[in-house]
Amino acid sequence: MCGVPFYQGKTIMGVAGAGMYLDELQKAVLNTKIGKNGYACMIDGEGKVIFSSGSGETFSADPDTLTDLRKSEKKELSELVSAAVNGEKGVALLELDGVSCYIAYAPLKTVGWTFLTVIPEQEVNEPTQSLMASLHGSTDKMVESSNRQIRSMIFAVIILIVILSAFSFLSSKKAAEILVRQMKELTLRVQKIKGDDLNFEWEENTGDEIQILADAFTSMTVRMKQYISDITTITAEKERIGAELDLATKIQADMLPNIFPAFPEREDFDIHASMTPAKEVGGDFYDFFLIDDDHLAIVMADVSGKGVPAALFMMMSKILINDVTMMAGPDASPAEVLTKVNETICQNNKEEMFVTVWLGILTISTGHVVAANAGHEYPILKKADGKFELFKDKHGFVIGGMAGMRYK
């Protein structure tokens, strides 16, 4: 997602944001159907299947069977997945779940994922095999028909006159040669259709079965070119989505304090924080900032849900908590800050999202902390002896859950 602040003078008025749901990428992959039995899947940088529209065992996205396919006992599959994870692209033919399949793969470099398409070899070859069988059948029929015509003409000419018989024989033979030539020409051009060469041209207009076969091959090559174009477009779209998700991750990370030491000029205290989201973007966040030289605000929070919606709600919540606390000044009460933030969020929360928040204000000179907890996990304190313990403070209701709440 992307966000841009806007101001009135030097006062920030809000943030305009736009983003894309990660679930849309999953839907795009799951809804991808190739031919009758083909499917698509997405593999992460560890060789594991993230999404899959197929039901096969090898490229299954079932969490119970999720493994690093680079470690597969099948050497060809292991080499293919390793090449795909390394950012290569290509097409390979190998046996998959007992079926010989073509596998095409291309990288989504911005997120380190790989998009794969799988289609059975039989399904790819079926149109050509069918047309070749039809071609051979038509050839046999044509030869048989020509032979019948020749025999009929010879018999008729013998009955009528020997001279006309010879003439008719020569004419029939010439016609057969023309038919055989056209059939051989069609066969030769069909055999040239392979690899990336999908061009098929037929200039003659015979008006018979040969013309029907030629039209069928022309239509088939046009559809195959369109299919390749569609695959190229889909791959480009996946790369664009990956780039947007990568940008959204960077924007969210930049929203949080991430330069340490955070206050290099201060020697009386030190602070450090880190966060690892479950997805590229999420709703967990932390914050810390000086209210004045002797008061440090500390925030730990978790928005309901994951992904882009949670990230948007997270940014709004973080900015509200920071603004309300700073406006209250050094005498700020964490309970009053959370009360005001809750009222602001509840005024326009049609999606009924909420956030749990722990807000503490540390008086640096005394080491005394005043905190309020809006439904968040208990904080953990490390004692001087090195042991850890939960600080079980009083919980209030979550922020955004109900208007009129008061916190302690």
pLDDT recorded at residue 245: 67
Which of 66-75, 166-175, 329-338 has the lowest average pLDDT? 166-175
- Dig out the tokens for 164 from the structure: 């006309």
Tokens 């174009």, located at residue: 229
Is residue 115 classed exposed, middle or buried when 0-12, 13-18 and 19+ CB atoms within 10 A define those classes?
Answer: buried
Give the CA dihedral 159, 162, 166, 172, nearest 10 degrees.
-10
Which contiguous run of DSSP H or E holds residue 100?
A: strand 99-108
Quick check: 163 pLDDT over 80? no
Q: What angle do CA 328, 333, 338 make, to 5 degrees?
A: 90
The per-residue DSSP string of 177-211 comes to: HHHHHHHHHHHHHHHT-BTTB----------SHHH
Q: Output Rg (C-alpha) for the chain, integer angstroms.
A: 36
The per-residue DSSP string of 225-267 comes to: HHHHHHHHHHHHHHHHHHHHHHHHHHHHHHHS---SSS-TT--
Q: What is the pLDDT of residues 227-255, one digit of tens each?
A: 877 888 888 888 887 676 677 667 777 78
Range 301-331 burial, b when 16+ CB lie within 10 A, else e: bbbbebbbbbbbbbbbbbbbbbbbbeebeee
Quick check: 185 pLDDT over 80? no
User: Which of 38, 79, 45, 48 has the alpha carbon at shortest distance from 234?
Assistant: 38
Which of 181-190, 226-235, 336-345 has the lowest average pLDDT? 181-190
Mean of the pLDDT values across residues 334-358?
93
DSSP secondary structure letter of residue 64: G
- Dig out the tokens for 168 from the structure: 């008719």
Q: Are 339 and 312 in contact (CB under 8 A)?
A: no
pLDDT recorded at residue 195: 58
Q: Is the peptide bond before 309 cis (omega within 30 degrees of 0)?
A: no
- β-strands 33-34, 355-363: how paired? unpaired
Is residue 5 classed exposed, middle or buried when 0-12, 13-18 and 19+ CB atoms within 10 A define those classes?
Answer: exposed
DSSP secondary structure letter of residue 213: H
- Dig out the tokens for 263 from the structure: 């206050």
Q: What is the pLDDT of residues 286-328, one digit of tens each?
A: 999 999 999 999 999 999 877 777 888 888 899 999 999 999 9
Strand order in the sheet with 295-303: 284-292, 295-303, 355-363, 368-374
Quick check: 194 pLDDT over 70? no
| Residues 266, 264: Cα–Cα separation, whole Å | 5
User: Which of 58, 40, 38, 60 has the alpha carbon at shortest distance from 119?
Assistant: 38
Q: Are 153 and 169 in contact (CB under 8 A)?
A: yes
- β-strands 38-43, 11-18: how paired? unpaired
Coil vs helix vs strand at 93: strand
| Residues 106, 240: Cα–Cα separation, whole Å | 13
Mean of the pLDDT values across residues 121-145?
74
CB atoms within 10 A of CB 18: 12
- For residue 118, the number of C-alpha atoms closer than 13 Å in the C-beta half-sphere is 25
Q: What is the pLDDT of residues 18-64, one digit of tens each?
A: 876 777 777 777 777 777 888 888 888 888 888 888 777 778 777 76
